[in-house]
């Protein structure tokens, strides 16, 4: 017989935030206010909210770039902050370095062994549909979509377990964006990483997320909407044709409208 106090231990969340508050100035009203959330490994959580409501501030706090006023940010105990990848709207590639030299940063400052770096690089180039021939180019010689792919690969070469993305696909044309969304989605699911994605695009949030969070203008979560689709429906083109997609869109849009007008 199994003893009554036997319990299967639940794996720790990749990220747990409890009662987080933060303000840029102590005397002004907080930008983040008593906010709690958790993200499991293999989950993508999107954050929507009005411009200026604190989305980037929240990512910066998670990345450890700023210190909370109160509350706690817990990263899975097996990992440290060094295992967080941060991807911005515009790529942060160094224009004077070739793509290969840009991608070598993980090896230079991340202490990733050369063989592992080389093998991961080849695998990631394939996954994100980039040809090896781009390695000798400079960032300015690539299209915006290619640069953003390189930027994502640059972060992934550090082997982060948690990815923070601040409007990463916003500057791309619709077709490139859809393709990159699909590549990103399958990467997260295949590797069981966790991701927090800030976006202004409701469709993108639905297509990619397990949960959509709506941040209100008081710096807390107004709504947490679970998004459920069959795996086979998660293709970025297929999902936009599923009836439920439209229903989620309406639900999120109504919630977003209500926080924007607050």
Considering only 17, 44, 53, 256, the residue that binds ligand ATP (CB under 6 A) is: 53
Closest listed residue to residue 87, CA positions, set 145, 152, 41, 143: 152
Angle at 150 between CA 144 and CA 152, to 5 degrees: 105
Pure H helices in 128-235: 144-156, 174-191, 202-208
Among 17, 20, 31, 87, binds ligand ATP (CB under 6 A): 31
Stretch that binds ligand ATP, among 9-17, 53-61, 121-129, 254-262 (CB under 6 A): 53-61
Residue ranges that bind Mg ion, judged by CB under 5 A: 56
The one of Mg ion, ligand ATP, none whose footprint includes residue 18, by CB under 5 to 8 A per kind, is none
The stretch near ligand ATP (CB under 6 A) out of 51-59, 72-80, 91-99, 202-210 is: 51-59
Contact window for ligand ATP (CB under 6 A) among 49-57, 105-113, 154-162, 254-262: 49-57
d(CA 157, CA 154): 5
- Quote the CA–CA distance of 262 and 61 in Å, as a whole number: 25
Q: Least distance from C-beta 24 to ligand ATP, angstroms?
A: 4
Give 165's strand partners. 87, 197
Q: Which of 3, 4, 7, 51 binds ligand ATP (CB under 6 A)?
A: 51
Positive/negative CA dihedral, 131, 133, 135, 141: negative
56 is an interface residue for ligand ATP by CB under 6 A = yes
Which residues sit at the interface with ligand ATP, rule CB under 6 A?
24, 31, 49, 51-57
């Amino acid at each position: 017989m199994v003893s009554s106090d036997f319990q299967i231990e639940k794996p720790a969340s990749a990220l747990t935030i409890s009662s987080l508050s933060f303000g840029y100035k102590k005397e002004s009203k907080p930008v983040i206010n008593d906010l709690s959330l958790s993200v499991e490994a293999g989950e993508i959580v999107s954050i929507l909210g009005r411009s200026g409501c604190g989305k980037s501030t929240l990512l910066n706090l998670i990345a450890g770039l700023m210190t909370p006023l109160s509350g706690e940010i817990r990263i899975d105990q097996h990992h440290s902050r060094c295992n967080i990848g941060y991807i911005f709207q515009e790529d942060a590639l160094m224009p004077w370095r070739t793509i290969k030299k840009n991608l070598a940063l993980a090896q230079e400052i991340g202490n990733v062994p050369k063989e592992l770096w080389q093998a991961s690089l080849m695998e990631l180039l394939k996954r994100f549909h980039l040809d090896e021939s781009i390695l000798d180019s400079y960032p300015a010689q690539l299209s915006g979509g290619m640069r953003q792919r390189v930027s994502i690969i640059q972060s992934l070469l550090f082997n982060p377990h948690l990815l923070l993305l601040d409007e990463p696909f916003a500057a791309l044309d619709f077709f490139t964006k859809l393709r990159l969304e699909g590549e990103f989605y399958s990467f997260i699911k295949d590797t069981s990483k966790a991701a927090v994605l800030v976006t202004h695009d409701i469709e993108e949030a639905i297509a990619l997320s397990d949960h959509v969070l709506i941040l209100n203008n008081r710096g807390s979560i107004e709504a947490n909407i679970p998004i459920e689709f069959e795996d086979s429906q998660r293709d970025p083109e297929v999902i936009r044709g599923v009836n439920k997609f439209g229903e989620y869109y309406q639900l999120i849009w109504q919630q977003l409208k209500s926080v924007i007008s607050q």
